[in-house]
């Protein structure tokens, strides 16, 4: 066969996350508790589900390339113009397009060591050079990111607020202050996938016309549409218009557009999910405490449980829980990897966790 192009030829074959379906195929049986992917086990709005069912008959047609109806609805919801909004294939797809738009081979990009690996995957895939800073405690370190960006001339700074994998968050005033210290020609990529779960003061007040920042949000978490792969970016019109130069114009399908539009119009269901997640976070904390684990404060739909051990122990615990039909994940970088990460879910799944955890802890202690 012809050789790959030089850049991908030099990259390893990798997947940022191994999905639960892959793990189920390997083990030959499904999980009883799916608590690792930060999906919404509380499901989508019934209105969204109905809208998607009704859209199936039109699936023979390509999706509306500009996602016109959803874009205009989002603009009204956010108090911006449609020119400030770009709908895409989830935050993952939008991040890939953004990196391609802004990062040339060899360009520096600043992020945190242990932060969202799919962003790193895109940067590496388009030839950028990652420069990582450690977390400060269990939170990303805005000042360290700014310092590294100045040292390297970074084109992008990636920051998730609230954060994955730790669930921590900064006040919006801290994020807003970062903009005034960005190096020249550097864009702040603010991943707000968990914004709906965050306290109000965690969301910065930033003018939508500010060209120094792009904000990424999704229908995968609070809205329960992870499988539809649909999200959106908010940014200055000239930056948003740049996406049309290189994006996959028909990448968002009709069913996803219909579901997201209906989900946005159902604030009651969103409030129900947010309340259910808050209750589940408390329950996960209680389950952890009953087994000697400490729940870290979380503004997301998951909880990081501190094992008070090391990464080897946490990895053994993840494996032991999987062997007991409970799918969870953990941070990949020390010292964050002393924790395990549990997605919020209805009581029935958390009861499976509660039942499996004591024996799994015992097995992990004996094997690590």
Domains identified in the chain, total number: 2
Per DSSP, what are the bridge partners of residue 130?
109
Average pLDDT of the residues of the chain = 97
Examine the fold and report which residue of 233, 265, 297 is the final residue of a domain before the chain moves on.
265
Residue 63 DSSP class: P
pLDDT tens for each residue of 290-338:
999 999 999 999 999 999 999 999 999 999 999 999 999 999 999 999 9
pLDDT tens for each residue of 1-60:
999 999 999 999 888 889 999 999 999 999 999 999 999 999 999 999 999 999 999 999
E strands present in 107-228: 108-112, 129-133, 156-160, 187-191, 213-218
The pLDDT of residue 212 is above 80: yes
> Percent of the chain at pLDDT above 70?
100
Q: Are 225 and 292 members of one domain?
A: no
Q: Are 99 and 216 members of one domain?
A: yes
pLDDT tens for each residue of 139-172:
999 999 999 999 999 999 999 999 999 999 999 9
Examine the fold and report which residue of 222, 245, 265 is the final residue of a domain before the chain moves on.
265
Alpha-carbon span 163 to 193, nearest angstrom:
9
Q: Which two three-digit tokens encode residue 22? A: 């892959």
Q: Are 157 and 56 members of one domain?
A: yes
Q: Are 166 and 113 members of one domain?
A: yes
The pLDDT of residue 368 is above 80: no
CA distances from 15 to 269, 319, 320, 340 (A): 33, 19, 23, 20
Span 235-253, average pLDDT? 98
Q: Are 146 and 246 members of one domain?
A: yes
The pLDDT of residue 61 is above 80: yes
Q: Exposure of 106 by Cβ count < 10 A (0-12 exposed, 13-18 middle, 19+ buried)?
A: exposed
Greatest alpha-carbon span in the chain: 58
Domain range spanning residue 249? 46-265
The pLDDT of residue 277 is above 90: yes
Examine the fold and report which residue of 214, 240, 265 is the final residue of a domain before the chain moves on.
265
Q: Are 58 and 148 members of one domain?
A: yes
> Percent of the chain at pLDDT above 90?
98
Q: Are 256 and 308 members of one domain?
A: no
pLDDT tens for each residue of 176-193:
999 999 999 999 999 999
Does this model's pTM top 0.85? My answer is yes
Domain assignment present for residue 3? The answer is: no
pLDDT of residue 5: 95
Judge whether 47 and 265 are in contact, CB under 8 Å.
Answer: yes
Alpha helices in the chain (DSSP H): 6-9, 20-27, 46-55, 68-78, 90-102, 117-125, 142-152, 172-178, 237-242, 254-264, 267-290, 311-323, 347-367
Alpha-carbon span 231 to 218, nearest angstrom:
4
Q: Are 74 and 213 members of one domain?
A: yes
Span 284-288, average pLDDT? 98
Give me the CATH number covering residue 359. Answer: 3.90.1150.10
pLDDT of residue 267: 98
Q: Which two three-digit tokens encode residue 58? A: 């039109």
Alpha-carbon span 133 to 333, nearest angstrom:
12
Rounded (10°) angle between helices 267-290 and 347-367: 30
The pLDDT of residue 119 is above 90: yes
Q: Are 198 and 333 members of one domain?
A: no
């Amino acid at each position: 066969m012809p050789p790959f192009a030089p850049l991908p030829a030099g990259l390893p074959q990798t997947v940022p996350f191994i999905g639960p379906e892959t793990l189920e195929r390997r083990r030959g049986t499904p999980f009883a508790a799916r608590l690792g992917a930060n999906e919404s086990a509380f499901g989508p709005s019934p209105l969204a589900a109905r809208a998607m069912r009704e859209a199936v008959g039109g699936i023979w047609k390509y999706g509306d390339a500009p996602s016109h109806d959803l874009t205009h609805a989002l603009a009204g919801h956010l108090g911006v113009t449609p020119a400030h909004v770009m709908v895409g294939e989830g935050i993952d797809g939008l991040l890939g397009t953004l990196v391609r738009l802004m990062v040339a081979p060899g360009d520096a990009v600043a992020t945190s060591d242990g932060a969202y690996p799919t962003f790193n995957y895109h940067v590496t895939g388009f030839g950028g050079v990652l420069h990582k800073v450690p977390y400060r405690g269990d939170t990303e370190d805005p000042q360290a990111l700014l310092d590294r960006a100045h040292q390297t001339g970074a084109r992008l700074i990636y920051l998730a607020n609230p954060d994955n994998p730790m669930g921590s968050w900064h006040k919006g005033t801290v994020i807003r202050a970062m903009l005034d210290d960005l190096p020249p020609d550097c864009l702040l990529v603010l991943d707000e996938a968990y914004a709906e779960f965050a306290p109000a003061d965690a969301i910065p007040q930033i003018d939508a016309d500010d060209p120094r920042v792009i904000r990424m949000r999704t229908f995968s978490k609070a809205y329960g549409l992870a499988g539809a792969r649909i999200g959106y970016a908010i940014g200055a019109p000239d930056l948003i218009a740049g996406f049309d130069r290189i994006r996959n114009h028909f990448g968002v399908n009709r069913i996803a557009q219909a579901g997201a539009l209906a989900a946005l119009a159902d604030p009651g269901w969103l409030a129900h999910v947010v309340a259910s997640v808050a209750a589940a976070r408390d329950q996960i904390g209680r389950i952890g405490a009953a087994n000697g684990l400490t729940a870290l404060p979380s503004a997301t739909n998951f909880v990081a449980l501190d094992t008070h051990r090391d990464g080897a122990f946490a990895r053994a615990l993840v494996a032991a829980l999987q062997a007991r039909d409970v799918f969870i994940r953990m941070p990949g970088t020390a010292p964050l990897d002393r924790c395990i990460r549990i997605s919020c879910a209805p009581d029935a799944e958390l009861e499976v966790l509660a039942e499996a955890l004591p024996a799994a802890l015992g097995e992990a202690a004996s094997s690590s």
